[in-house]
Amino acid sequence: MVKNVIVTNLNTCEKTAKKIAKSIDAVYMKTEVSTFPDGDLYLKFKGDVKGKKLIIVESFQPNSTKAMMDIVFASNAAKQQGAKKVVVCAPYLAFMRQDKMFNAGECVSAPIMAKLFNENVDKLLTVDPHLHRILKMKDVFTIPAKNLTANQVIGDFVAKKYKAKKNLMIMGPDWESYQWADEIARIVGVEDTVLHKDRHSSRNVDVKLTEKVDLKGKTIVIVDDIISTGNTMIKACIKSRKLGAKKVIAIGVHGLFVENAFKKMEKHFDDIFTVNTVQHDSNKIDVADVFIEELSKRI
Ligand code: R5P
């Protein structure tokens, strides 16, 4: 038993929190999160956190604003009750995509979310956060904030599922996705290619190949960090089929699937899989192992 470590969750991730607790030999504690009749947040730890390190496992979907506030309240409540340290494991961390003012007057959310963590939590662990214009976690976080990656668990899943590697290729749908495509391809032991994406609006993208690769007769596994409207994935799938791909598979780390995206994607793809950072029927790859590896080394 790891002394003095308690793992809990708030509204999401109960299974993941229990698996983490069991694997690192810590105690799992339930936290009651509900509302008073007037709508105020009610939060109650079902155990004594005094003198303990508390690990809160919570995803920022399906309700990112609520998740943020619940984490702030839970962390402060733990400190009020004498907890020594609060570590948040956020399988999906929201607010990272609004990292600049795209239109005058808009709120730049990423540094504000980071500020709430900096002021209320001791440490953050998350998985494949959307680092685009913010390049490193330490650009906005002053607390230890580590970005873990699901590359290994995705690579293991692909290698097991598609054993015939001869006609297998990993594809990234835009240049940012090279960090997943390259590494997953290395783990599986196959080639990869990365497309060029032009984004015209939040719902309209175009993709093209940037190098001469032969997709004829191949099984193409397209990997991306976030699947939101699904348009990026769909365009990459259409392009792959045009170039002769036999099977096209989509794998997303964070399957947000907004605006009926999953149904739209099903018409194009042979299979769609996601990591369980956001709960969805397509979850086939377990994020708990990513946190367990890190927490076994240090909390
Ligand atoms: C963007 O840079 C991300 O990596 C994803 O490609 C993007 O969020 C996907 O969005 P959508 O599914 O709406 O095309």
Cα-based distances in Å from 290 to 20, 65, 127, 148, 276:
10, 25, 8, 7, 11
In one letter, which amino acid is 197? K
Per-residue pLDDT of the chain (299 residues; tens, 9 = 90+): 566 999 999 999 999 999 999 999 999 999 999 999 999 999 999 999 999 999 999 999 999 999 999 999 999 999 999 999 999 999 999 999 999 999 999 999 999 999 999 999 999 999 999 998 999 999 999 999 999 999 999 999 999 999 777 899 999 999 889 999 999 999 999 999 999 988 887 788 888 888 889 999 999 999 999 999 999 999 999 999 999 999 999 999 999 999 999 999 999 999 999 999 999 999 999 999 999 999 999 88
Residue 226 beta carbon below 6 angstroms from any ligand 1 atom: yes
Sequence-distant (≥ 6) Cβ neighbours of residue 71 within 8 angstroms: 10, 56, 58, 88, 90, 117, 120, 121
| pTM of the full structure | 0.93
Sequence-distant (≥ 6) Cβ neighbours of residue 1 within 8 angstroms: 25, 26, 27
The region, left, alpha or beta by phi > 0 then psi within -120 to 50, assigned to residue 223 is beta
Residue with tokens 């650009």: 139
Q: What is the pLDDT of residue 268?
A: 98
Helices 178-188, 151-161: axis angle to 10 degrees equals: 50
Q: What is the pLDDT of residue 198?
A: 84
CA 202–ligand 1 middle distance (angstroms): 9
Q: What is the pLDDT of residue 298?
A: 85
Residue 56: strand pairing partners = 8, 88
127 with 289: CB under 8 angstroms? no
Write the DSSP assignment of 254-291 as a string of letters: EE---TTHHHHHHTT-SEEEEETTS--TTEEE-SHHHH
CA 257 – CA 270 distance, rounded (Å): 17
Q: Closest ligand 1 atom, CA of 256?
A: 12
235 with 173: CB under 8 angstroms? yes
What is the CATH T-level fold of the domain 151-276, as seen in this structure?
Answer: Rossmann fold (3.40.50)
* Per-residue b or e along 23-40, where b marks 16 or more CB atoms closer than 10 Å to that residue's CB: bbebebbebebeeeeeee
Q: What is the pLDDT of residue 194?
A: 95
The residue to mutate among 224, 253, 254, 268, having the most atoms of ligand 1 within 8 angstroms of its beta carbon, is 224
- Token pair, residue 297, equals 């080394």
Q: CATH topology of 5-150+287-297 equal to that of 151-276?
A: yes
CA 199–ligand 1 middle distance (angstroms): 9
SS3 content of the chain, % helix, strand, coil (to 5): 30, 30, 40
The region, left, alpha or beta by phi > 0 then psi within -120 to 50, assigned to residue 261 is alpha
Q: What is the pLDDT of residue 2?
A: 62
The residue to mutate among 225, 237, 260, having the most atoms of ligand 1 within 8 angstroms of its beta carbon, is 225
Q: What is the pLDDT of residue 100?
A: 93
In one letter, which amino acid is 164? A
Q: What is the pLDDT of residue 202?
A: 74
Biggest alpha carbon–alpha carbon distance for the chain: 62
* Domain made up of 5-150+287-297: CATH architecture: 3-Layer(aba) Sandwich (3.40)
Q: Where are the domains of the chain?
A: 5-150+287-297, 151-276
**Alpha carbon 295 to its chain's center:** 17
